[in-house]
Amino acid sequence: MAKFEIFKLGLEKEEKIVDVVTEEIPLTITVNDTELVTLLASPTDLKELAVGFLFTSGFITRFTDIQQITLDDTRWLLTIKLKEKKIDERLIHKRMFTSGCGRGTIFYNAVDIMHRNKKRLNLNLDRKNILRMMKEFQENSPGFIETGGVHSAAIANEEKILVIREDIGRHNAVDKVIGFTLMNQMDLKNKILFSSGRISSDVIFKIQKTIMPAIISRSAPTDQACKHARAAGIILIGFARGQRMNVYNGREHIV
């Protein structure tokens, strides 16, 4: 975290204080000597971010597709070598600019998105556990508590949170936890994604790349996120705060 002297102003008084501000770095990812993308990100868990990003963008299907991954944190350059010498050039030209703050990018294949198999809603969730885990999730985001400048994402089972990651971008935070699961060979069949941010269709696309059946956020979904979640059979819950939540898909799986 960086520290800056700032002025805190009220209507009738002002105060000079030292404020803690979240860090932001430009992370350039190269794959097989091809510069793929530069992500604006928090300078933590960057290998997980890259692995999750490559997976949700369709460049890899498992962590073992990667032969080598190297981070140069003096230039914020992350170099990846895949076992396959060629990457799918068609994906490089199919970019979708995300709905996040700034101009984030995901790569996608529209036909692949349209024809992904519908998931079965095979997870039953206790609403008390959902709200308890959301409270735990919010309380275990030190970057947000300290600066208010980051998003969080987490992977949980029906009873407890298993891993939490933070980033200045909500998409990056999601990619970080997905990258963690790939690097640690975690079975996602009955896992839940928690998010602090808005759920848009591009986030649903990332979930569709996994076999996770549920996503829960303290914020709102978009109309396209609701439509895609229903088409894909993904449990979608928004505004999970305090003692309430809104269920946009999968009500029959919440007890």
Q: Which helix (H) or strand (E) holds 54?
A: helix 46-56
217 exposed, middle or buried (CB, 10 Å; 0-12, 13-18, 19+)?
Answer: buried
Q: Are 85 and 32 in contact (CB under 8 A)?
A: yes
- Helix and strand tally (H, E) in the chain? 8, 14
Catalytic residue (one of 38, 101, 160, 184): 101
Q: Is 101 considered catalytic here?
A: yes
Q: What are phi and psi of 240, to 5 degrees?
A: -80, 95
| Neighbour tally for 205: CB within 10 Å | 22
State the Cα–Cα distance between residues 3 and 186, nearest whole angstrom.
37
Q: What are phi and psi of 104, to 5 degrees?
A: -75, 165
Provide the 8-state DSSP code for 22. -
Q: What is the DSSP string of 183-231?
A: HTT---TT-EEEESS-B-HHHHHHHHTS---EEEESSPBPHHHHHHHHH
Q: How far, in whole angstroms, is CA 137 from its chain's centroid? A: 14
End-to-end CA distance of the chain: 41
Please list the active-site residues. Answer: 101
